Amino acid sequence: MGYATEHIAKTLRKARESKGFSQRELSAKSAVPQGHISKIETGAVDLRVSSLVQLARALDLELTLVPRNTVPAVQSIVRTREPPSSGRSEEARLAQKELKRLQKTISRFLPGTGQAPNELAQLQRQIQELQHFQLSGSELAAIRSASQAFKEYWSDPHNVNAVRESLSQLKSLRNTLAHGSVHAPRSNTVRPAYSLDEDDNA
């Protein structure tokens, strides 16, 4: 409806997709129900500012009021810092999927083992945390590599070193992401009021 709010809705959707989040994931991060996100993105509601801010924060966006005559300059800034080119959204999606796949694989493997090595739990937490970062192509490669390492352990449960290898890869990935030295900064992972998981490590 609202001609002016339509733009907001589009921005939200684009931001979400570019980060590879599903509406349900975003719902978890922002504490806004998925159904409501759907309505918002399709412009079916005149949402309240608090809802908008909740979503924005989860998407690493900031709601600002800028003077009309500065809008072009602002847009130019935003544009130059945007995702390098195209395909980013798809890569983010794939990276997130790969993470989930690995997570699932591990959890399916766990019950079978009499006593799982310590590293397995760590691996799981690491994956858990990585899901909070915005990922892209290069990260996808690292994740796949870690996934590969775990498969080696899967096929030979004596090879604990493979787990260690996998874990170390993900840790290093997490550190690069957290320190923002290479890719998108994202120094602070978005954290909902109710914590979905505890993650804290070095």
* Rounded Cα distance, 179 and 171, in Å: 12
Who's near 61: CB < 8 A, 6+ residues apart? 11, 15
Least distance from a copy of itself to the Cβ atom of residue 73, Å: 5
CA 200 to chain centre: 16
End-to-end CA distance of the chain: 47
Sign of the CA dihedral running 180, 128, 57, 88: positive
Q: How far apart are CA 121 and CA 100, in angstroms?
A: 15
Q: If binding is defined by CB under 8 A, does position 61 make contact with a copy of itself? A: yes
Specify the residue, 68 or 158, whose C-beta has the smaller distance to a copy of itself. 68
Q: Choose between 116 and 184: whose C-beta lies nearer to a copy of itself.
A: 184
Residue of 102, 104, 109, 115 lying closest to 149 (CA atoms): 102
Q: How far is the CB of 173 from a copy of itself (least distance, A)?
A: 20
Using the contact rule CB under 7 A, the part of the chain among 43-51, 56-64, 72-80, 162-170 near DNA is 43-51
User: Binding partner of residue 41 among DNA, a copy of itself, none, CB under 5 to 8 Å per kind?
Assistant: DNA
Query: Pick from 46, 85, 181, 202: which binds a copy of itself (CB under 8 A)?
Result: 46
Query: What residues from 77 to 96 belong to the interface with DNA (CB under 7 A)?
Result: none
Q: Are 23 and 38 in contact (CB under 8 A)?
A: yes
- Which of the residues 71 through 90 are near a copy of itself (CB under 8 A)? 71, 73-74, 77-78, 81-82
Taking a C-beta distance cutoff of 8 angstroms, is the pair 126, 178 a contact? no
| Contact residues for DNA, defined by CB under 7 A | 17, 22-25, 31-36, 38-42, 44-48, 50-51, 97, 101
| Contact residues for a copy of itself, defined by CB under 8 A | 2, 4-5, 8, 11-12, 15, 46-50, 52-53, 56-57, 60-71, 73-74, 77-78, 81-82, 184-185
